[in-house]
Each structure stands twice: as structure tokens, then as C-alpha cells.
Amino acid sequence: MSIATVNPATGETVRTFDELSPEDTERRIADAARAFASYRTTGFAERAGLLTRAAALLEAETEDIARTMTTEMGKPLGAARAEAAKCVKAMRWYAAHAESLLRDEHPADADVRDSGASAVRTHYRPLGVVLAVMPWNFPLWQVVRFAAPALMAGNTGLLKHASNVPQTALYLGELFERAGYPHGCFQTLLIGSRAVEAVLRDPRVAAATLTGSEPAGRSVASVAGDEVKKTVLELGGSDPYIVMPSADLDRAARTAVTARVQNNGQSCIAAKRFIVHADVYDAFAERFTAGMKALSVGDPMHESTDVGPLATEKGRADLEELVEDAVSRGAAVLCGARRPPDHPRGWFYEPTVLADISADMRIDQEETFGPVATLYRVEDLDEAVHRANHTPFGLSSNVWTRNDEDIARFVRDLEAGGIYINGMTASHPALPFGGVKRSGYGRELSGHGIREFCNVTTVWQSAD
């Protein structure tokens, strides 16, 4: 597999990199294990100081790393700056809150009196070296949302990043070392996907986290299961965006456009299936389609661009196949469904809205990773719930209604790791993030995320 920066706006190869040799990979695993042996004993104040310095460096270098991300995967420059700012926020949040999130827990005396203990507590200890296998779509954020809590918990990290964002990957490895972390605490491995299994099977690697495709998740989970190692998986999503009759249609339609095309439509938590009650379907479809048509598609380095190119040529080809299959089976094209004629270079695709979706279309069950939305008309709340859950995925969901009974029903019955009411799904350091079904398992962010890679230890002390 080629490890290279290829500008998706032009298709030009900017820079190529050699893959680490097995010997170099071995040295980095050994460095991570040695670093863990001492780093695990540091206090929260020391760890917080290191992470705060890393946040300050990133904040000062936002413009440079934003341009690197845009060059490598095509997100609009403004979105890249926002991604860097979000990382800074998360790093500072964990620096401030990790100690309280991992504070010892003490059961009530009455609950453990019959155990014969004079003292009992639950103590959180780091697991060790954690391997992170990360995707290209949020090349900074996906890594930081793992690294910040893992490092604050006392773990060390090895990053295997996507092969099309090597410069961002190298920046991350250098960032933590420049911030003063002991050598080996966080390192980038420029390796291909075929080399991941050997790293994961290494006995010095304690656990793994992966954000990416379902096949990649299955592969990592299979190896980790064979080795009996902890994993956290955040995989694909086909999030429903439900609009009920009581919704504020103007707000719902405006937000729907952003929810669909964020990151050029390449986000696991982007709304993808728009499920609209028949009473407001036509009005919503008109507003939503007009909003999608009005988006500016172009050079992601231009401040006025709303939607840049897809990150890879294969990604665009896969998206085109889904759209062509749907259209051939009767889907109606309300806008888009083509490459923009004024952008012959690069991997651009017009914002697209498809209606009249049926169960025989691949797009009904497969994730659309690009600026393509599917519209569904439903007759009542029961059908909305059924349609929303009729997917192998369960990452997040969006509900637009001002009816309290509707809200209670959706909160009870939607099969998803998140339910966002009258707003757009977005991750936040204080909120747990993750999914169910084929969207993966485990949680990132919040206290749940920092405790995923901890040894939850019962400490029992005799009364004698």
C-alpha cells in the first residue's frame, strides 16, 4: 500500500513516504513499553501539564496543520481550522478533568460490611501500550479524542493512521514529544494495513482502538479476540434524521444541509437518511433540496467553499456506484447525482438528494460516504421509528419535533448511541460517543472514554 499525500482537489501526488521496516516498528513498540513502565507512575498534575503544553502548541500551529489536513483529505479550510480548535478544547478538558474522572470510588460501608473489610475501593490503573488504528476523515480529531484520555490515564500510544494522511500522522507523533512527553509515550507508525496484525499480536501491546470501516473493525476485533485484548470500535453509520409535523421546518431544513455535507459528507455521524412525516414531506423536501443546490463546490482552500472533493478516487467511485444503482432501480434525483462539470480535476461530486428509495436499492442499507442524501416519506411515528431502525448501523440519530410524546417514544425506541433532538449530532469531550449494532462497541470521550483503557481494580483491605 502506498503511503502518500495525494491532493484530492487535483489528483496530484504531493509527497510519498517509506513504510517503516519491521525492525523500526519493533523499536517503537519497545520504546512504548519502556515509556509505559515509568510514565504510568506519574501524577495527574504532571500529565495535565504535558497535555496542556501540547494543546498550546497545536493552538499556535492551527493554520499550518489545517492546511496540511485540507491538502491531504480535502476538507474545507474553515472546517480544518475548526477541527484543530476542537482538539485543543478536548485536550484542555481532559487535562482539567481526568483526575476527578478517575478518582477512587468507595462503596457505602453498609454494602460491604459483611465482606470482612476495613476498607474497600475501586481504583483505576492504566492498561499499557494502546494501538490506535485511525481513519483519514477527521485526521486530527479522531486521534486526539483517543490520545488525550489515554495519556491522561497513564497509558502510552502507538498510532497507525490512514495511509493517505501521513503528514498529519507524523505531526501528531512529533506534537506530543515537543510538548515534553517522555520518549516513546506517543509514536506514529507509518505502516500499511497488512502490518497491523503483527503489532496487535505483540504481547507488549495491551489493547486497541479503531475508528473506520466495518471490515477493518472486524479484522482488528478478530485478532484482538484471539489474543484476548480489549478493543473499542467506532465504525460506520447511516444516521436517521427524522422530521415530524411539529418541527420548525426552516431550522430543520437548514440544519439538515449542514448535517449531511459536513466534512464533504464524509462523516460517520453525518445525517444520511432523511425520514420525513407525510404532512410536512413536500415542504421539507423543497427547502432541503434548495439548500443542497445552493452549496458552493470547489477548491477547499478557498474560504467561500462549502463542499470540497472526496478524499480518494475510490471513495468517489464507490459513491457513484450507490447512486447509479439507486437511480437504475427507480430513485428520483432531486438534485446532483453527477460530477460537477466545472471541476474536471480532482474527486468532486455534487451535493445530491435522492427520493423514492426502495428496499432493493443498495443505498437503502449501505453507508453513503459523501454528499448524498436519501429522502423517505413516512405516515406516522411508528413508521418513522421502524424506518430509522431499519439499518445494520446504530451510531447516532437526529429527531425534529416539539411534541413531548414523540420525544419520549424516540428516546425509548431508537437504536443508536446518541439521540439529538432539534439539533445536529456533534461530538463533545464531556459526552460519551459510540454506537450499537454494526457501528461498533465501547465509548470514547467523557468519563466513559477515559475508563475504557483502564484496569478497573478492586482494592480490599482486611479488618484485621
Under 8 Å between Cβ of 111 and 458: no
**Residue 268: active-site member:** yes
Q: Which residue has the cell 481532559?
A: 94
SS (H, E, C) the chain: CCEEEEECCCCEEEEEECCCCHHHHHHHHHHHHHHHHHHCCCCHHHHHHHHHHHHHHHHHCHHHHHHHHHHHHCCCHHHHHHHHHHHHHHHHHHHHHHHHHCCCECCCHHHHHHHCEEEEEEEEEECCEEEEECCCCCCCHHHHHHHHHHHHCCCEEEEECCCCCHHHHHHHHHHHHHCCCCCCCEEECCCCHHHHHHHHHCCCEEEEEEECCHHHHHHHHHHHHHHCCEEEEECCCCEEEEECCCCCHHHHHHHHHHHHHHHHHCCCCCEEEEEEECCCHHHHHHHHHHHHHCCCECCCCCCCCCECCCCCHHHHHHHHHHHHHHHHCCCEEEECCCCCCCCCCCCCCCCEEEECCCCCCHHHCCCCCCCEEEEEEECCHHHHHHHHHCCCEECCCEEECCCHHHHHHHHHHCCCCCCEECCCCCCCCCCCECCEECCEECCECHHHHHHCCEEEEEEEEECC
Say which of 87, 185, 268, 454 is annotated catalytic: 268
How far apart CA 393 and CA 366 sit, in angstroms, is 9
Q: Which residues of 328-337 are buried (b: 16+ CB within 10 A; e: fewer)?
A: ebebeebbbb
- For residues 107 and 445, give the distance between their C-alpha atoms in angstroms, rounded to a whole number: 25
* CB 158 within 8 Å of CB 453: no
The active-site residue, picked from 234, 350, 366, 367, is 234
Residue 142 has which C-alpha cell? Answer: 479522531
Which are the catalytic amino acids?
A: 234, 268
